[in-house]
């Protein structure tokens, strides 16, 4: 028998899926703009603001459901996980905005050496794939798919530190490129971290198991 709270939980789930799709679009737009030297800052800003607003709506809906109904333990697990996932989706948007601001102030990779462009493009592809996996695992409530992000995140961390090591040994010709690229890889590393936070919340939401996959 359907409960009154179930309609609200379904609305919350649908909101999270829309957030995930918007978050992926925001990160993708920002990274492609940075790598391809496209001016995407204004659009990324609007999308990032929309994600923050949606995260607030998820939080409001969560407290409404708690106040109006008497959620059981499994409901509370869903509500707690939903708020955490919404926050992490909003952080995707924030870091995407940071990357677009780097391009706005310092330029993209057009004046960087080939190895810099190749390194950041490779890391961007990996991180964008992680964002996609986090969204897809949420849609399907696939805890096992979410757990696969653990290994990918380790690879992203490894790429981040290897890039910094190589930069110290072989700094690019321009200071702007150095600053821009270091900031970009740092934000990519943070997006990768938030992908694993989302994965942990999905596992908890789906199975009740608290795991650390970072």
Q: Give the CATH number of the domain where residue 132 resides.
A: 1.20.58.220
189 inside domain: yes
**Model confidence pLDDT, tens digit, residues 36-72:** 988 899 999 999 999 999 999 999 999 999 999 989 9
Q: Which of 195, 202, 86, 82 is nearest to 142 (CA)?
A: 202
111 inside domain: yes
DSSP state of 209: -
113 inside domain: yes
Q: Residue 113: its pLDDT value, please?
A: 85
Residue, of 137 and 108, whose pLDDT is higher: 137
**Model confidence pLDDT, tens digit, residues 186-200:** 999 999 999 999 999
pLDDT band at 213 (very low <50, low <70, confident <90, very high): confident
- The average pLDDT across 147-161 equals 94
- Maximum separation of any 2 CA atoms in the chain, in Å: 67
65 inside domain: yes
| Number of compact structural domains in the chain | 1
214 inside domain: no
Q: What are phi and psi of 70, to 5 degrees?
A: -115, 80
85 inside domain: yes
* Nearby residues of 187 by Cβ (< 8 Å), 6 or more positions away: 95, 98, 99, 102
212 inside domain: no
pTM summary value:
0.92
Mean pLDDT of the chain: 92
As a whole number of angstroms, the distance between CA 45 and CA 95 comes to: 11
**Model confidence pLDDT, tens digit, residues 117-152:** 999 999 999 999 999 999 999 999 999 999 999 999
171 inside domain: yes
pLDDT band at 172 (very low <50, low <70, confident <90, very high): low
Q: Residue 145: its pLDDT value, please?
A: 96
Could you tell me the residue range of the domain that residue 178 belongs to?
4-207
Neighbours of 51 (CB within 10 A): 25
Percent of the chain with pLDDT over 90: 75
């Amino acid at each position: 028998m359907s409960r009154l709270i179930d309609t609200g939980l379904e609305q919350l789930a649908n909101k999270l899926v829309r957030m995930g799709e918007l978050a992926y679009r925001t990160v993708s737009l920002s990274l492609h703009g940075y790598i391809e030297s496209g001016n995407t800052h204004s659009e990324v800003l609007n999308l990032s603001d929309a994600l923050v607003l949606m995260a607030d709506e998820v939080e409001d809906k969560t407290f409404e459901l708690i106040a109006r109904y008497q959620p059981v333990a499994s409901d509370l697990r869903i509500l707690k996980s939903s708020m955490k996932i919404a926050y992490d989706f909003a952080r995707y948007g924030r870091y995407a905005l940071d990357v677009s601001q780097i391009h706005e102030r310092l330029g993209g990779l057009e004046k960087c050496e080939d190895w810099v462009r190749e390194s950041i493009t490779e890391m961007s592809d990996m991180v964008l794939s992680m964002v996609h996996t986090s969204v897809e695992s949420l849609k399907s409530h696939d805890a096992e798919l979410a757990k696969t992000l653990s290994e990918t995140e380790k690879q992203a961390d490894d790429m981040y530190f290897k890039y910094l090591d190589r930069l110290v040994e072989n700094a690019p010709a321009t200071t702007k490129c150095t600053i821009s690229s270091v900031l970009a890889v740092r934000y990519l590393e943070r997006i990768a971290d938030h992908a694993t936070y989302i994965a942990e919340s999905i596992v908890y939401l789906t199975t009740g198991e608290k795991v650390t996959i970072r």
